[in-house]
Amino acid sequence: MPVPHTARSEGSSGFAPAAPLELRSVTKRYPGQAVPAIAELSLEVPAGEVCVLVGPSGSGKTTAMRLINRMIELSSGDILLGGRSVLQRRPDELRREIGYVIQQIGLFPHHTVGENVATVPRLLGWERARIAHRVDELLELVGLDPQEMRGRYPAQLSGGQQQRVGVARALAADPPLMLMDEPFGAIDPINRERLQDEFLRLQATVRKTIVFVTHDIDEAIKMGDRIAILREGGVLAQYAAPAELLSRPADDFVAQFVGADRGLKRLTLATLADVELIEPNGLSPSARRVPLRTTVRDALSMILTAGGSPLTVVDDQGQVTGLVTLELVGGLLGKDGALAEPDGPAGGGGDGGA
Partner 1 sequence: MIGIAASLPVIPTFGGAPSSYACERANRLFCSGWISQNWSTVLWPALRQHVLLSLVAVAIGFAISFVLALLAYRWHRLERPVILVSGILYTLPSLALFEILVTVKPLGLSARTAEVALVSYTLLILFRNIVTGLRAVPDDVKEAARGMGMTERQCLWRVEIPLALPSIIAGLRIATVTVIALATVAAYICDEGLGVPIFAAIQDGVFKTELIAAGGLAVVLAIVADGLLVLVQRALTPWARGRRLGAAR
Under the rule (CB under 8 A), what is the footprint of partner 1?
69, 71, 92-98, 100, 102-112, 119-120, 123, 152-158, 161, 166, 169-170
Find the shortest distance in angstroms from Cβ 34 to partner 1.
28
Choice between 76 and 156, CB closer to partner 1: 156
Least Å distance between CB 214 and partner 1? 18
Between 108 and 252, whose beta carbon lies closer to partner 1?
Answer: 108
Residue 182 beta carbon to partner 1: minimum distance, rounded to whole angstroms:
12
Measured from the CB atom, the residue of 162 and 247 that comes closer to partner 1 is 162
- Cβ-in-10-Å burial (0-12, 13-18, 19+) of 185 comes to middle
Tell me, rounded to whole angstroms, the distance of Cα 15 from its chain centroid.
Answer: 19
User: Shortest approach of partner 1 to residue 108 CB, angstroms?
Assistant: 6
Question: What is d(CA 205, CA 207) in angstroms, rounded to the nearest whole number?
Answer: 6
Question: By C-beta, is 64 or 94 nearer to partner 1?
Answer: 94
Is the CB of residue 43 less than 8 Å from the CB of residue 23? yes
Fill in the DSSP letter of residue 173.
T
Residue 153 or 198 having the CB closest to partner 1: 153
Indicate the SS3 state at residue 247.
Answer: helix
Closest residue by Cα to residue 142 from 169, 120, 116, 118: 169
Residue (102 or 237) nearer to partner 1, CB = 102
CA 247/CA 25 separation, integer angstroms: 27
CA dihedral 154, 156, 158, 161 (to 10 degrees): -50
Q: Are 223 and 199 in contact (CB under 8 A)?
A: yes
* Least spacing, CB of residue 95 vs partner 1, in Å: 4
Helix H or strand E encompassing 209: strand 209-214
Closer by beta carbon to partner 1, 96 or else 248: 96
Q: How far is the CB of 233 from partner 1 (least distance, A)?
A: 24
Supply the minimum distance, in Å, between the C-beta of residue 125 and partner 1.
Answer: 12
CB of 240 to partner 1, least distance (A): 29
What backbone torsions phi and psi does residue 347 show, to the nearest 5 degrees? 80, 140
DSSP letter for 6, please.
G
Backbone phi and psi for residue 282, each to the nearest 5 degrees, phi listed first: 90, -45
Distance of CA 221 to the CA centre of its chain: 8
Nearer to partner 1, 161 or 294 (CB): 161
